[in-house]
């Protein structure tokens, strides 16, 4: 049965786990469990379908393991009422926050005080008007990670959240919806994601590119991916960008096209769509002794 209909709040209440119980649960976490908890720590929320696609051999095996993680308080879950498919969305539970005690806590207000509990953190996430936006932005990276399971020559080298990328590139003042580094066919391409749901005026979307122009002065020149819901929206963006010089490459794509494949149109060179690894990417002058800002890769991925 693929539909998850059980309300997690209707299960019998249980007393908090003792320290010994929690230590035992921690020892039983698998590498895959820890990968999932790390993602939930940084990226706030993932759906059953997203977790299954990226980490499990089948939806059923994902649901079984997620139920076990829920029982030991590694994750919280709640029914996603916005889609009507009855699947669960997952956030960090008390045990998960033991593994990741210092983590991003509020998708709306990055500087907000830390939550007093995992429940408070979850309430901030599920109460955020950006919940659908978060899931949409995360979907691109989930699709890339799932792709690596079918092609072992590919790798998602980096997946940063908005808050992580904003902090790392604070000098430029950018706020991408995500940042990644993708390796395929002998090419390594960094990128910044701007996930667009078609609700903002085009002018506001285009103004976001100014920060990337500042970053290009001293940091990497990674393509900015403007991912939009419809071809009409994409056409309007490409028309607005026509003839506008941008130091940072800009590419458009659609939500329902696989991000690893030929899904991207370069604004400066409209034509056949390109694979993600075919987009122009410059990792920046991090070894330039003459550069006053001297870019360094915070995580040493490059």
Proportion of the chain above pLDDT 90, given as a percent = 67
Tokens of residue 288, six digits: 């330039």
How does pLDDT run across 116-173, given as a tens digit for each residue? 889 999 999 999 999 999 999 999 999 999 999 999 999 999 999 999 999 999 888 8
pLDDT of residue 299: 61
Q: Edge-to-edge, what's the strand order for the sheet holding 46-47?
A: 46-47, 88-92, 75-79
Rounded distance between C-alpha atoms, residue 13 and residue 175, angstroms: 41
Structure token pair of residue 248: 């940072």
> Does the CA dihedral 44-48-50-53 come out positive or negative?
positive
Query: Helix/strand/coil (H, E, C) string of 45-85?
Result: CEEHHHHHHHHCCCHHHHHHHHHHHHHCCCEEEEECCCCCC
| pLDDT tens profile 17-72 | 477 888 889 999 999 999 999 999 999 999 999 999 999 999 999 999 999 999 99
Count how many residues are written for the chain.
302
Three-state secondary-structure class, residue 149: coil
And the tokens for 262?
Answer: 């030929």
**What is the distance between the alpha carbons of residues 147 and 206, in angstroms, rounded to a whole number?**
30
The 3-state secondary structure of 209-226, one letter per residue: HHHHHHHCCCCCECCEEE
Domain boundaries, the chain: 8-129, 132-278
pTM of the model: 0.87
Residue spans of beta strands (DSSP E) within 152-201: 155-161, 178-184, 187-195
- The pLDDT tens digits of the residues spanning 270-283 come to 889 999 999 999 99
Pairing status of strand 75-79 against strand 88-92: antiparallel
Q: Give the C-alpha separation, 214 to 174, whole Å.
A: 9
How many whole angstroms separate alpha carbon 165 and alpha carbon 167?
5
Q: Average pLDDT, whole number, for the chain?
A: 88
Top CATH class, 8-129 = mainly alpha
- Averaged over 235-248, what is the pLDDT? 91
Residue from 185, 126, 254, 129 nearest 263 by CA: 254
Per-residue pLDDT tens for 229-239? 999 999 999 99
With residues binned 3-state (H G I as helix, E B as strand, rest as coil), the percentages for the chain, rounded to 5, are 40, 15, 45
Q: Spell out the alpha helix ranges (H) of the chain.
A: 19-28, 31-43, 48-55, 59-71, 94-99, 118-126, 131-148, 162-168, 202-207, 209-215, 231-241
What is the pLDDT, as a whole number, of residue 288?
33
């Amino acid at each position: 049965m693929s539909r998850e209909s059980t309300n997690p709040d209707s299960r019998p209440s249980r007393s908090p786990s003792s320290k010994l119980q929690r230590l035992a649960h921690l020892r039983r976490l698998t590498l895959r469990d820890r990968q999932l908890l790390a993602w939930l720590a940084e990226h706030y929320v993932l759906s059953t379908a997203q977790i299954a696609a990226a980490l499990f051999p089948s939806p059923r095996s994902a649901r079984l393991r997620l139920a076990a993680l829920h029982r030991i308080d590694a994750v919280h879950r709640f029914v996603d009422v916005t889609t009507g498919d009855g699947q669960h969305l997952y956030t960090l539970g008390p045990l998960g926050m033991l593994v990741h005690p210092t983590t991003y806590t509020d998708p709306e207000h990055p500087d907000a005080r830390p939550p007093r509990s995992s429940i408070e953190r979850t309430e901030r996430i599920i109460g955020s008007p950006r919940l659908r936006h978060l899931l949409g932005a995360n979907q691109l990276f989930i699709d890339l990670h799932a792709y690596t399971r079918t092609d072992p020559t590919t790798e998602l080298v980096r997946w940063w959240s908005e808050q992580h990328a904003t902090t790392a590139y604070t000098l430029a003042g950018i706020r991408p919806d995500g940042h990644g580094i993708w390796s395929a066919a002998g090419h390594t391409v960094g990128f910044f994601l701007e996930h667009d749901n078609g609700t903002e005026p085009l002018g506001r979307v285009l103004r976001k590119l100014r920060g990337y122009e500042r970053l290009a002065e001293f940091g990497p020149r990674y393509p900015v991916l403007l991912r939009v819901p419809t071809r009409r929206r994409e056409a309007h963006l490409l028309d607005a960008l026509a003839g506008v010089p941008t130091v940072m490459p800009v590419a458009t794509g659609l939500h329902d096209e696989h991000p690893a494949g030929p899904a991207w149109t370069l604004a400066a060179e409209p034509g056949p769509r390109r694979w993600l690894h075919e987009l122009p990417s410059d990792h920046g002058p991090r070894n330039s002794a003459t550069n006053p800002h001297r870019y360094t890769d915070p995580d040493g991925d490059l």
